[in-house]
Amino acid sequence: MKTTATPQPATTCLPALSSQDQGWENILVEQFQHPSGECKTHYSDQHAICLSLASRPVRFLQIKGGKTHSSLYGKGDISITPAHMPFFARWEGDDHYLQIRIASQFIQSVAKEALELNPDQLELLPEFRTRDPQIEAIAMLLLAELQQKNLGNKLYIASLSNVLAVHLLRQYATTKSDLPIYEGGLPERQLLQVLEYIHDSLAQEIKLADLAALLDISQFHFSHLFKQAIGIAPYQYLLQQRVERAKQLLKQTDQPIIDIAFLCGFNSHSHLSKQFRQLTGMTPTAFRTS
């Protein structure tokens, strides 16, 4: 995702944590901590959302879209800057915030596929300071993944990205649209098709886009209908199946645990161990000898 960002010399604007190297598609999540300073940015193809994590309110001056806004920003306050809109900020005090940048092309794709909106007429509105419990909840889930460096949870990240994109389109776009309602979950034939694909592909990376493409529906609606059908989200089902496959291989073969990890779609021994313990309450080694 090509971006341009031009910080003022007085401020480094380097993140304390970043998802840059975690392989997340369509979304970049970064945690920042700065002393008093100023920063000027412009993202040509990403919408930017900033969520304040500051323990004490910070005085901010912001300029974007030809408008100036000055106020205190406290924990939970959110600002939204659409792509192509230059943004300037000056703050007094130690600032701590989470920035989410979501690809404008991805937003356009979700608008067309999930909301049946014309992407060519799509425009997001800027927000200087607002409260949005749903954005805050999604942001905190993304922050948790960022902190834990869960490299194998790309399906989960894609699900969160889709939910965030739909929410932005419904609440902050100039063109409003009601979300089409699909009830009853996936038909049995389609559900079995998806489950068979997952079962046959556990060793490979499985993307939400791949699963949705099997049924020719949007990623957002696929996630919704899948959960309606079996009671859990696609990423949860995938994790369960990978752990079940690992349990079989641990009991039925003498293969090294690192090999079993790769055969089940985990990217390391530690990744398998972490997820295995979460679902079974024991390590793979303990399970094999039990």
10-residue mean pLDDT profile of the chain (290 residues): values are 40 80 93 92 95 95 94 96 95 95 96 87 92 97 88 87 95 78 82 96 94 95 93 95 97 96 93 94 95
With H, G, I as helix, E, B as strand and everything else as coil, classify residue 44.
coil
The domain boundary residue, chosen from 115, 145, 172? 172
- The pLDDT of residue 152 is 63
Whether residues 208 and 130 fall in one domain: no
Q: How far is CA 40 from the centre of its chain?
A: 25
Edge-to-edge strands of the sheet including 17-18?
Answer: 17-18, 27-34, 95-103, 46-52, 78-81, 127-130
Tell whether 195 is covered by a domain: yes
| Same-domain check for residues 202 and 279 | yes
Closest by CA position to 87, among listed 4, 174, 211, 203:
4
Last residue of a domain, which of 107, 137, 172?
172
Classify residue 279: in a domain, yes or no: yes
Question: 85 lies in a domain?
Answer: yes
Do 141 and 213 lie in one domain? The reply is no
Same domain, 20 and 159: yes
Whether residues 80 and 195 share a domain: the answer is no
pLDDT at 244: 97
For the record, the structure tokens of 33 come out as 């901590």
Tell whether 89 is covered by a domain.
Answer: yes
Buried b (16+ CB within 10 A) or exposed e, 87-116: bebbbebebbbbbbbbbbebbbbbbebbbe
Do 136 and 44 share a domain, yes or no? yes
Q: Is residue 178 part of a domain?
A: no
Taking Cα atoms as reference points, which of 138, 134, 129, 133 lies closest to residue 77?
129
| 32 and 157, same domain (yes or no) | yes
Distance set, CA 10 to CA 13, 64, 90, 97, 102 (Å): 9, 20, 11, 18, 27
Specify burial of residue 77 (Cβ count, 10 A radius: 0-12, 13-18, 19+).
buried
Domain assignment of residue 206, given as a range: 187-290
Q: Which helix (H) or strand (E) holds 41?
A: strand 37-42
Same domain membership, residue 138 and residue 75: yes
- Give pLDDT, residue 148: 85
Q: Which helix (H) or strand (E) holds 195?
A: helix 188-200
Place of tokens 């790309």: 154
Among residues 144, 172, 200, the one where a domain terminates is: 172
**Residue with the two structure tokens 């100036």:** 68
The C-alpha atoms of residue 246 and residue 244 are separated, in whole angstroms, by 5
Cα–chain center distance at 234:
14
In a domain, 92, yes or no: yes
Residue 239 covered by a domain: yes
Calculate the alpha carbon distances from 110 to 101, 105, 116, 158 in Å: 15, 9, 9, 12
Residue 48, sorted as left (phi over 0), alpha (psi -120 to 50) or beta, turns out to be beta
> Quick one: 260 and 194 in the same domain?
yes
Question: 160 and 25 in one domain?
Answer: yes
Q: What angle do CA 159, 164, 168 make, to 5 degrees?
A: 150
**Tell me, what DSSP letter sits at residue 173?**
B
User: Rounded distance, CA 243 to CA 277, Å?
Assistant: 10
Is 177 part of any domain?
Answer: no
CB-CB contact of 243 with 250 (8 Å): no
* CATH number for the domain harbouring residue 50: 2.60.120.10
Say which residue the tokens 């398998």 belong to: 272
Check whether residue 104 and residue 32 sit in a common domain. yes
Domains of the chain: total: 2
Asked whether residue 147 falls in the same domain as residue 193, the answer is no
Domain containing 275 — which CATH number?
1.10.10.60
- Distance between CA atoms of 177 and 112, rounded to whole angstroms? 11
